[in-house]
Homo-oligomer: A and B are copies of this chain.
């Protein structure tokens, strides 16, 4: 098999801890990766001072990590407030976002108040959008506690809430001051969520770095078992690739869209099944298989590559077949959801496809071909 040269130079990443820098001029910030960071006051030593901080978390994460984070922040911020949101993608809406604004105003928080997003991708996206919007912008910090949010959503400044008619339709590009990936928090992750996070790890291979993909093929079982050294390396390499791509194209006018490999089909599954029934990473898992098949139909990769990708996704514990959204016209249901994707232009769906292993590209595809791929890739097997 021929692979494209890796998009990002492959740094040696054998240590269990690391700091990756995201280079965005005056909006640059570090991403720290190690075990035990959350409860260590030193983690927060370089943050801006303020009279108050607000930790935003959810009812699942709070019992696990809130106390240690609160204690670590107490020395730096005279007042540390907390708001606990209900857990789940179904709550990534305006009503729940407004609970953050309520708390900020009730506690008299000002323009210098620092927000801390303690939780997974939903908490990070909502807290980030709240920080972008409260008094037109206050500082915030990402404390991602899931694999998915550590390797993807916490890095790069995409924040949003869902609208009933589309996922992440209302939001902002707004960069945090710091991202803290505490590897110890992954120990508490249920296997299903660990697998969902692996979907976003795996995606970096086909789009950017087949050497990393080969490494994942060798280490996927250790990763599923929660091996700390393997996890450190997977998180670091994922974050390196993401940071590099975001540094090139912060606001997704071009290149950055390749990070959405598998997401166009995946979002259709998530929306079509009702948010929260399929985890985001599960949608991305099946979505990558579908996008790979579409790439093959367009002559950009061979069947061996599609099989190899499908096999790794399966070994990660992820679905490799799409859901049936409509028994009558399943492909039609997918197409309808995909036309409201943010990458669509004038109604034309733009897919992230693989143009040879290790290299992604964006393009449209004839509806008939897309329908054929959907029919082939959706359950039952």
Q: Which residues of A contact B (CB under 8 A)?
A: 51-52, 94, 98, 101-102, 105-106, 108, 110-112, 132-137, 158-160, 163, 165-166, 169-173, 251, 339-340, 342, 344-347
Report the bound CA distance from A51 to B344 in whole Å: 12
Assess whether B102 is in contact with A132, with CB atoms less than 8 Å apart: no
Instruction: Knowing that A135-B342, A137-B251, A172-B172 touch, tell me 7 more A-B residue pairs with CB under 8 angstroms.
Output: A94-B98, A101-B170, A102-B165, A105-B166, A110-B344, A133-B133, A133-B171
Assess whether B169 is in contact with A340, with CB atoms less than 8 Å apart: no
Most chain B CB within a 10 A radius of its CB, from A52, A165, A339: A165
Residues on B with C-beta less than 8 A from A106 are 165
Residues on B with C-beta less than 8 A from A94 are 94, 98
Report the bound CA distance from A344 to B111 in whole Å: 8
Residues on B with C-beta less than 8 A from A133 are 133, 170-172
Report the bound CA distance from A342 to B133 in whole Å: 12
Assess whether B51 is in contact with A346, with CB atoms less than 8 Å apart: yes
Chain B nearest CB: distance from A326 CB in Å?
A: 19
Residues on B with C-beta less than 8 A from A101 are 163, 169-170
Report the bound CA distance from A136 to B347 in whole Å: 18
Assess whether B132 is in contact with A165, with CB atoms less than 8 Å apart: no
Chain B nearest CB: distance from A95 CB in Å?
A: 9
Residues on B with C-beta less than 8 A from A159 are 136
Residues on B with C-beta less than 8 A from A344 are 110
Cβ contacts A to B, 24 pairs, < 8 Å: A51-B347, A52-B346, A94-B94, A94-B98, A101-B170, A102-B165, A105-B165, A105-B166, A105-B340, A108-B339, A108-B347, A110-B345, A110-B346, A110-B347, A112-B346, A134-B170, A135-B169, A136-B158, A136-B159, A136-B171, A136-B342, A137-B172, A137-B173, A172-B172
Report the bound CA distance from A166 to B52 in whole Å: 19
Residues on B with C-beta less than 8 A from A165 are 102, 105-106
Which of B52, B102, B169, B345 is in CB contact (< 8 Å) with A105? B169
Select from chain B the residue with minimum beta-carbon distance to A165.
B105
Select from chain B the residue with minimum beta-carbon distance to A172.
B136
Report the bound CA distance from A244 to B267 in whole Å: 45
Also in contact, A132 and B340, with CB within 8 A (given A105-B163, A166-B105, A345-B111): no
Chain B nearest CB: distance from A48 CB in Å?
A: 13
Report the bound CA distance from A210 to B171 in whole Å: 42
Chain B nearest CB: distance from A85 CB in Å?
A: 17
Select from chain B the residue with minimum beta-carbon distance to A170.
B133
Which of B134, B173, B339 is in CB contact (< 8 Å) with A169? B134
Chain B nearest CB: distance from A104 CB in Å?
A: 8
Chain B nearest CB: distance from A275 CB in Å?
A: 15
Report the bound CA distance from A128 to B251 in whole Å: 18
Report the bound CA distance from A111 to B253 in whole Å: 10
Residues on B with C-beta less than 8 A from A132 are 172
